Structure 1
C-alpha cells in the first residue's frame, strides 16, 4: 500500500505543477515541417503534437520541424526547452546552434530515445527577440515517434514540469519493475521449493505460484522497456517481445485469478485455459507480423483479443466474488476491476486517439495487482506453512504418544521376559534335579529295595547324586563361553572321588579363549556332557587312569576324555547316558565322537 500512496502523491504533484506553471512559459503548438517518407519529401505547416504513427501508419521516416517563438524582452533568468517525448532519435538546434543530439538519425529501428522526457538549457547569449528551434527526428514504426508541443520558459518552471513527468514515467517505472521482479522472483522461488508428493511418487507444485511469478516477470519486462534506450535485440524482435510480455501478463494474470478462486476443477476450466495459451501463442505471431509487415492493425487486433478475454472474465470474477466473497477473492476482484478499466482506457487512448504525450496508466495500476499477487502468495504460503506446522505438531504428538505406548509395551514385555526367564530357570533347575539328582536318588532307592546291591554301590550312587546337585548349583555361576573354567570346576568337584577310586587323573588343559556362542544354557549342556563321560568312567570303566585333554583349534575347542578301562561296544544301542550326551551335543551344535576298545576309550567333544 505504501507504493500506491507514493504513486498517488506523484499524480497529485504532477497535476499541481502543471496547473501552477507560470505565465512566462510558452506552449508552442505550430511548426513548419519537412517530412520524408519512402524518399518523398513534403512541406507543410503542422500542429503539434505530431504523432508519427497516426500520421504515417506503418511507415518509418525522418522530418525537420522549425518552431518559431518570440520573447517580449531578453530573459533575466535561465530558460529551458522541454519535450514530453521526442524522436525516436533527435537533434535540436536554437538559432543555428546545436543544443542536443541523441541517436543515429539515419539508422532506422536502432536506439529509441523518445521514451523519456527531455529538457535542454537555452543559453542566454543564444536567445533573441525572435527565435527558431530547428528539430530533426528519426521516427520508426510502432515506437510512438514524433514531436510534442514544445514548452519554453524559465528553468524553474520547466524543471518542475520535467521533474514531475520524469518521476511519473521513469522513477515510477523503476518502482514498478523492482516490485514486479521481487514479487515474481518470490513466487517462482515458492513454486520451485514448495512441493507435495503424489501417490505415484512424483512431486506436485502449486501452479498458483507459477502463474503469479510469470505474470509479474512479464510485466517487469514490459515496463522495463521504457528504461532501455539501446535494446539488446533488433527492433523487429524487441518490439514483438515487448508486446508478448504484455500478453503474457494478461494471460498469466487471468490464469492466476482462476486458480486462486479454486475454479481449476470446473468442466469449463480446461477449454478456458487452452484459450489463454492459444492467445499467448498468438502473441508470438501477430506482433511479429505487425512489425515485420508494418501493419499495426494486427497488433490492435491482438490487443483487442486480450481485452475480449480479460473483460468478460473480470466481470464473471467480480460477479462470483459478490455472490461468494472470500478474503482471497475480494482483493483480486478489486485489482481486476481497476486493471481492466485502466487497460481499456489505455487501449482506446493509444489505439484510437491522438495521445502522443500521454502516459500509459496500466503500468501503475498493475502495482495494485502486483501487491495483491504478493498478498495472496504470502497468504497461501502462510496457510500452507501453518498447515504444515499443525501437521508436524500433530505428528510429533502422535509420535510422542506412540513412544509412550511403546515404552509401556516394552516395559511389559521386559517384565514378562524376566518372568519367563525366571520360569525357564526354575524349569531348568527342576529338569536338572529330575534328570540328575532325582534319577540317581531313584536308582539308590531301587538298589536298597532290591536287597542285592552292596553298601558301596548304593554309596556310589548317592555320591553321584550329590555331585550332580553341586554341579547344578555351580552351573548358575559359570562364565558364558569359558570352557577352561567349566573343566576346572568339574576337576574341583570330582578329583577327590577319582582319588578315592584309585584312578589317576591326568590334566592337560590349555588356557582356552572364551567361545562367544556358548551362553549360559549351552554351558550347562556342555557341563552335563562332560560330567556324564566322567561319571561313566567312575561307575563302569574299571579304569586306573583318566586323562582330560583340551586344545584350542582355531576359533573352536577340542575336548577329549581318555581312560584305560574295559571299554564298551560303540556299535551297540546307546544307553540312557550316552543317548543324553548325543542329544545335548546336538542342542549346542557340538560334535560328539566315541572310540572305545579294551584299555583305551576316547570321548571327544568338538566345539566350532
Structure 2
C-alpha cells in the first residue's frame, strides 16, 4: 500500500512542479531520498530514507527525535531567492541548509507542546546559502505519540514557484478549515435558535421543542471545535487531554449526526428504537476511553480498532436509513441520506489513509463533506418554513372566510336586535305615554268627573281641573322629542305651554334662565320626572298660592345646576314637603329645598 500511495503522491507533486516550471521557466526539486537518524528512549539508529516518513507507523507511535539529511545537487548557484515547502512536518522542528540554521518551530527539548504538523510549512532560502554542486538540507524534529509526526516529501526551488504551491495547499488545509469552522458555527447557531424558539402545547401532551434542531446544532458545534484544531498550534491543555477532547468532538459529531438522521426519519417515536440511545452512549463513551488509553499508553491500535468498529456501526445504520429513504422518499430524507452516505464513504477513506497507510501529508476529507450536513439542514429548514408559510396562508384564508361568515351572522343578528330594540323603545314610549296620561291627564279627568257628579263643584274649579289635564297632555306630547339632559329645552317647552295659562290667571311670569349646560345623568325618564315636578310646582302656584308674580330662575354655579321657582303668594307650612314633589325629586336624584312665608315661597332644585 505504501508503494502505490507514494507513487500517487510523487506523481501529483511532479505534475505540480512541472506546471510551475512551465509557467516560470525554472525547476522545482523534489527531495525524497536521504538518511534518517532516530533516537527513542536513548537509543539512536540510522537508516536510509525514502520520503514520506510516517513516524507513528515507522516507530510504533513511540515519542522521540529524528534527524533527516536530504542531499541535492545544483549545476550552478541560483541568482534569486529560493524557498522550501513541506506539505507536513512535525511535531516541532528546525531546518538547516548547508549547516546554516534557517528556521525553528517549537522547542525540540519539550514534548507534547506545540504541534506544527497541522498545516503546510514554507520558508525562504537566501541565494547565498546555496552553492553549485552538492548541498545538504537537514531537518531535525521531535515526534510526540499519536500526533501524526513525520515528514512529507520536500520541495525546494525558486521562491515564486514554491510559494505558489504553498499558497494552494495552505488555502486548502488552513484557510479552508477556518471557513468550515465559521460555516459550522453559523449553521449550529441557526439550528440552536430554532430549537430554543420552538414551543409546543403541554396541555395536549405535545413536546416543547423539536429535537432534530438540537442534534443538528450539537453536531455542528462539535465539528466546529474539531476542525478548529487545525488552527491551534499550542493546545490550551496537555496533549493527552486535548487529544481525548478532539476525539470526543469527533465522536460527538458522529453521534449527533446519527441522532439527527434518527429524528428526520421519525424513528424516535417508535418504542422498538429506544436501543439507539444506549448504542450512541456506548459509541461516545467508548471513543473517549479508547483514545485516552491509546494516547497514555502510546498504542494507537486501540483507537484504530475502536474507530473501525464505530465505522461499521455507522455504515450499517446509514445503510438502513438509505434503504428506508428509498422505500419512503421525501425531501428531508433524500438530502440527509445523500449527505450521510457520502460522509460515511469519505470517513472510510480517511480511516484507511490516516490510520492504516504509510502515506504522510494527507489530510482528512470528511471535514469538507460535513458541509453537506449543514446544507441539508438549511434545506430542511427552508422546506419546513415554506410548508409552514403555505399552511399559515391556508389557515388565514379559512379564518378570513370564517370571520366573514361570522361578521355576516353578527350583522344579521345586530339588525334583528336593532329592530327589536326600536320596537321595544316604541312599546316603552307607548307605555310611558299611557302611564303619564293615566297618572296625569286621567287623574285630572277623573277629578273633573267626581266634581260634576257631586254637584257641588264651582265652574271655575272644574275649568281649572280640565286645563291642568290639557296642559299635562301637551307636556306628555312634548316629552316625546325632549333631548336627554337638555334642561334648557325643557324649561322653554314648559314656558311655551304654561305662560298663556299664567296670563289668564293674572299671574305675571318673570324669566331669569341663563345658558345651561346639559346634565348628562338625566335620561329620558328622568327628564319626564323633572318636567312633571316643575309642572306640579307651577300648578300649586296657580291653584293655591293666590300669587300675582311667579319667577323662574336657572343658573350654573361651580358645575352645579340650580333651578328656583319663587312666587309672592300667601305661603304655606313648609315643615312638611309635599309627597308628590319629594318622590319625584328622589326619583331623579336632586336636592329639594322649600322655603315659604307670606309673600315669598321658594322651591329650589340642586343637581349636585
TM norm structure 2: 0.82
d(CA) in 1 for partners of 2:191, 2:103:
44
Q: Over residues 215-258 of structure 1, what are the superposed CA-to-partner deviations in whole Å (9 max), with x where a residue is unaligned?
A: 22322322232233344555444433322221221111111111
User: For 2:342, which of 307, 315, 338 is the aligned residue?
Assistant: 338
Structure 1, 151-160 or 208-217: larger mean CA deviation: 151-160
- Please say if 1:434 is aligned against 2:438: yes
Aligned to 1:355, what secondary structure does the other structure show? coil
Q: Name the residue aligned to 2:133.
A: 129
Q: Work out whether residues 16 and 165 of structure 2, in 8 Å CA contact, stay in contact via their aligned partners in 1.
A: no
- 1:484-523 correspondence runs (5 A): 485-487=489-491, 489-498=493-502, 500-501=504-505, 514-523=518-527
Equivalent in the alignment of 1:453: 457
Q: Measure, in 2, the Cα distance between the counterparts of 1:83 and 1:158.
A: 10
Counterpart Cα distance in 1 of 2:38 and 2:200: 63
The answer on whether the counterparts of 1:568 and 1:598 sit within 8 Å (CA) in structure 2 is: no
User: Mapping of 1:245-394 within 5 angstroms?
Assistant: 245-277=249-281, 279-280=283-284, 287=291, 290-291=294-295, 294=298, 296-297=300-301, 299-300=303-304, 303-304=307-308, 306-394=310-398
Alignment-derived partner of residue 61 in structure 1? 64
Q: How many angstroms does 1:30 deviate by?
A: 4.1
Asked if 1:100 is matched to 2:106, the reply is no
SS at match of 2:108: coil
How many angstroms does 1:85 deviate by?
0.6
Q: Is the 8 A contact 1:212 1:373 kept in 2?
A: yes
1:18-97 paired onto structure 2 within 5 Å: 18-19=14-15, 22=18, 28-57=31-60, 59-70=62-73, 73-74=75-76, 81-97=84-100
The answer to which of 316-325 and 412-421 deviates more is 412-421
The residue aligned with 2:117 is 114
**Does the CA-based 8 Å contact 1:54-1:354 persist in structure 2?**
yes
1:339 to partner: Cα distance: 1.2
Question: 1:20 & 1:308 partners in 2: Cα distance?
Answer: 36
SS of structure 2 residue aligned to 1:357: coil
* Maintained 8 Å contact 2:53/2:359: no
Matched, 1:589 2:589: yes
Partner of 1:473: 477
Aligned partners of 1:544 and 1:565 also within 8 Å: no
Instruction: Judge which range, 15-24 or 332-341, deviates more.
Output: 15-24
1:557–1:303 Cα change, 3 Å: same
The 3-state SS of whatever aligns with 1:328 is helix
Q: Cα offset for 1:491?
A: 4.4
Task: Please state whether the residue corresponding to 1:199 is helix, strand or coil.
Answer: helix
- Secondary structure in structure 1 of the residue aligned to 2:66: strand
Residue in 2 that maps onto 1:210: 214
Please give the per-residue CA displacement for 1:253-285, whole angstroms capped at 9, x wherever unaligned: 111111111222111444423543564456666
Question: Is residue 243 of structure 1 aligned with residue 247 of structure 2?
Answer: yes
Could you tell me how far apart the structure 2 residues matched to 1:35 and 1:17 are? 26
Shift of 1:135: 0.7
Residues in 2 aligned to 1:17 and 1:229: alpha-carbon distance in whole angstroms: 26
More deviation in 550-559 or 432-441? 550-559
8 Å CA contact retained: 1:543, 1:566: no
Distance (whole Å) between structure 1 residues aligned to residue 179 and residue 16 of structure 2: 27
Q: Which moved more, 1:278-287 or 1:409-418?
A: 278-287
Equivalent-residue separation in structure 2 for 1:406 and 1:203 (angstroms): 38
Q: Offset of 1:527 from its aligned partner?
A: 1.0
Deviation at 1:63, TM superposition (A): 1.7
Do residues 532 (structure 1) and 536 (structure 2) align?
Answer: yes
* 1:3 alignment counterpart: none
Taking a change above 3 Å as real, the CA distance of residues 94 and 470 of structure 1, as seen in their structure-2 partners, is same
Residues 85 and 156 of structure 2 are in contact (CA less than 8 Å); yes or no, is this contact kept in structure 1?
yes
SS of the equivalent of 1:264 reads helix
Is 1:424 the counterpart of 2:433? The answer is no
| Superposition deviation, residue 169 in structure 1 | 2.8
CA distance in structure 1 between the aligned counterparts of 2:11 and 2:153, rounded to whole angstroms: 18
What is the SS of the residue equivalent to 1:136?
Answer: strand
CA apart distance, 1:144? 0.7
Residue 189 of structure 1 pairs with residue 193 of structure 2: yes
Inter-partner Cα distance in structure 1 for 2:299 and 2:427: 101
Deviates more, 1:16-25 or 1:584-593: 16-25
**What is the rounded CA distance, in whole Å, between the counterparts of 2:358 and 2:349 in structure 1?**
13
State the alpha-carbon separation in 1 of the partners of residues 203 and 546 from structure 2: 80
Q: Deviations over 1:302-356 (max 9, x none)?
A: 5346435422321221121122222221222222122112212322332233232
Matched residues, number: 591
Structure 2 segments unaligned to the other structure (5+ residues): 1-7, 22-26
Partner of 1:138: 142
How far does the alpha carbon of each residue in 1:352-406 deviate from its partner, in whole angstroms, 9 at most, with x for none? Answer: 3323222212122223333222222222232223323333343344334434443
Cα gap change, 1:605/1:308 in structure 2, threshold over 3 Å: closer, same or farther? farther
> Structure 2 vs 1, CA of residues 499 and 278 (structure 1 numbering), >3 Å: closer, same or farther?
farther
Please, what is the CA RMSD of the aligned residues? 4.1
Tell me what 1:6 maps to: none
Classify 1:124/1:552 alpha carbon distance in 2 versus 1 (closer, same or farther; 3 Å).
Answer: closer
Cα 1:396–1:108 shift into 2, 3 Å: farther
Question: How far 1:463 sits from its partner (Å)?
Answer: 0.8
Give the Cα separation in 2 of the matches to 1:235 and 1:391. Answer: 58
Distance change (3 Å), C-alpha of 1:16 and 1:286: closer
Residues 502, 274 of structure 1: alpha-carbon distance in 2 compared, 3 angstrom cutoff: farther
Partner of residue 410, structure 1: 414
The 1:455/1:252 distance shift into structure 2, 3 A limit, reads same
